[in-house]
Amino acid sequence: MKSALPPLVQRSLQSVLGTVLVLVAVAMAASNAGAQDAATFGGVEFPQGAISFADRVVSYTSAEGVIAPNDDPTRALGPPDDAGAMVSLGNADSQCQTSLVLEFVDNYLVDVEGNDLWIFEVGPDVEATELFISTDAVNWIAIGKVEGSTRGADIADFVSPGQKFPFIRLCDFPDGVTSGSPYAGPDITAVGAIGSIVRPPSEQTNPPTVTGDGQTGSGQTGSGQTSGGVIGSGAIGSTYPPLPFGSPEPWPVDRMTIQAAQRQVVAGGRVWVPVYLLRSDNVANINFEITYDASVAVPDGDLVAGNLLGGRLFSANPGDPGIVRVGFSGTDGVFGTGTVAWIPFRAVGQPGQRTVLSVTVSTINEPNGAEPPIDRINGAIIIVDANGLTPGDCDGNGYLTEYDAFCALQMSVQLRPVQLTLDIDNDGAVTSRDATIILQRVTGRA
């Protein structure tokens, strides 16, 4: 029987019902804490126990004064480490110059009575750390900062009833207070959601529709030819160019894929880039290579094995310019989705420059020696300025191309309205000189 209610009324009722269901879930989580194995960490009770803690690193950008092993962002995952293992953010000069973005994979952060979030930092006092939460890791809600003896945060004043958040961002607050090497800035060992509800597997990804090259539907295959279509629609064993910046990571695929991530980094800064193995199916060993433009970014430090490998053998060689070689080996196969490696890169180019992180697989075997097919998704590193912007970016894609130079040239002859973000030489006007500088940065000659 069809509903007699007008469509607008039906949609309104559905929206209200959705909010009510989330509020009921929050209430049930609070009243049935014992069913989720409530546990106490650092004197703080977490009604849902160990699942309350952040599970995945989305991005990490540090500053000077952070030295291995304190530059390993995976140290902030899971419950707090009794041994004091931590990741340091570094000392920031501007807002979110240094940052750590984490995801709650199997739970959501929600508002409950009192503190909803707890930051575990090594040491007696918390260095000033700004906190942000997000539903999509793109649009962020500032919820203040923790410092001194304050480690908890209440999100009630910043969110609407029923909202649920899988992402949190921590940034060193640029107050001029600094700490020294090898663990400069806030030292994070865990991030836990006191206000927590279970996140169903069906809600763990919400991908947009993206074509093979992220824009037009023309992806590259391993032979350099175009495959077309969405990720996974090409022949098995295809290679796809980087997705649009901000796309979900890891990308939801329907067959085994290796994916290099995309990251933005301030010029001169350091960033960790994860390499994901998606829907791995009984993989005992692999050799893969990541090639990059050494005029834009270079490896800076030892690679770290990913969470998918467990105790398997892991080895990596970043020694040759322009290529990182990685391998792992075990007696049995790995299954599922996770990281296989974390690569630290230092940005040596100029804001607006970009290097593709091209992935190739030379060897992959199951325990019996069979060679399974595997797709590849390339990643990228994009250099931005201290404000997180890309000077000279006319089309808003986050990096510089010849089109941006042509755009500046058109502005110089008044064929386009002038945008001073394309005034690269800071002389107060957009001229042909700015177009030349953009071209030089595109070609690595600036």
Nearest by Cα to 80 from 123, 135, 32, 29: 123
Structure tokens at 196: 């927590």
Residue with token string 């290099």: 260
SS3 label, residue 115: coil
The predicted pLDDT at position 209 comes to 29
Q: How many CB atoms lie within 10 A of CB 27?
A: 12
The predicted pLDDT at position 24 comes to 47
Contact assessment for residue 381 and residue 296, using Cβ atoms and an 8 Å cutoff = yes
Report pTM. 0.50
Q: What single letter denotes the amino acid at residue 272?
A: W
State how beta strands 99-103 and 196-198 pair: unpaired
The predicted pLDDT at position 82 comes to 61
Contact assessment for residue 219 and residue 231, using Cβ atoms and an 8 Å cutoff = yes
The predicted pLDDT at position 154 comes to 95
Mean pLDDT value across residues 195-220: 49
What is the Cα–Cα distance from 237 to 59, expressed in whole angstroms?
27
Structure tokens at 239: 């290679």
Contact assessment for residue 164 and residue 152, using Cβ atoms and an 8 Å cutoff = no
SS3 label, residue 181: coil
What is the Cα–Cα distance from 31 to 28, expressed in whole angstroms?
5
pLDDT at 213 over 60: no
Query: Residue 376: which residues within 8 A CB-CB, separation 6 or more?
Result: 222, 238, 239, 240, 257, 258, 259, 359, 360, 361
Tens-digit pLDDT profile for residues 336-394: 888 899 999 999 998 888 899 999 999 999 999 999 999 999 999 988 887 777 888 88
Query: Residue 427: which residues within 8 A CB-CB, separation 6 or more?
Result: 433
State how beta strands 141-148 and 152-153 pair: unpaired
DSSP 8-state assignment for residue 207: P
**Domains with residue ranges and CATH for the chain:** 39-199 (2.60.120.260), 257-384 (2.60.40.680), 402-443 (no CATH)
Tens-digit pLDDT profile for residues 410-419: 999 999 898 8
Q: What single letter denotes the amino acid at residue 311?
A: G
The predicted pLDDT at position 210 comes to 28
What is the Cα–Cα distance from 304 to 146, expressed in whole angstroms?
29
pLDDT band at residue 167, thresholds of 50, 70 and 90?
Answer: very high
Q: What single letter denotes the amino acid at residue 372?
A: P
Structure tokens at 172: 């060193």
Contact assessment for residue 274 and residue 350, using Cβ atoms and an 8 Å cutoff = no
Q: What single letter denotes the amino acid at residue 250?
A: P
